[in-house]
Amino acid sequence: TTPFVFKNTEHAANLFKLKELGNIYSRLMNPTCNVLESRYAQLEGGHPLSALTVASGTTAIFYSIINLAEKGDNIVSARALYGGTYTMFNDILIKMGIEVKFVDAEDPQNFADAADEKTRAFFCESCSNPALEICDLEAISALAHEKGLPLICDSTFSTPYLCKPFEFGADIVVSSLTKWVGGHGAGLGGIIVDKAGF
């Protein structure tokens, strides 16, 4: 990692104590990621400081889940998912003790019916890849909120140009920046945007 230049020791101390905003180490934050996070969060309708860039869309989903669930918990997810997401949910999270209950999202009530006292979130894709199922985000988020749960929405396929999940009740939006947002597949990345209302 590379450190940034500090004006003096007081400046450095204030940054490390979070008394002052600024860059400390490139592995923690950097101006390029900061601009991307701020602009993308605003495209989604979030606060300019509400996003986090990560290595991939799958990483964005993983971070969202492990910040809400731990061993013994579960999430309820739409069954129509991107293959990499399905593999993570079906084969990897279970090894960490996090169960994923898959439901047919065409009937939003299925989410509520599958939830129990160990459920920590509902998950869906705004437009599933590759099945192209459109989730009723308003209905799913209303059911999640009735149970005190957040709705995590992967908006990779719809992008904020076509759909802003926050406007339909989602609490966390994740996206792969590699596909439609990047537009050309030359870079790899993911992003998490938190509405900060949950």
Structure tokens at 15: 């940054």
Reported in sequence order, the residue ranges of 39-189 that DSSP labels E, i.e. its strands, are 51-54, 74-78, 99-103, 119-125, 151-154, 172-176
Sign of CA dihedral 150, 154, 159, 163: negative
* Residue 145 CA: distances (Å) to CA of 15, 48, 67, 88, 167: 37, 24, 18, 25, 14
Hey, which residues does 100 pair with through a beta bridge? 75
Residues designated as active site: 27, 82, 154, 179
End-to-end CA distance of the chain: 33
Alpha carbons 136 and 69: distance in angstroms, whole number = 24
Alpha carbons 4 and 173: distance in angstroms, whole number = 30
- Closest to 122 in 3D by CA, of 158, 167, 171, 162: 171
State which H helix or E strand residue 14 sits in: helix 9-16
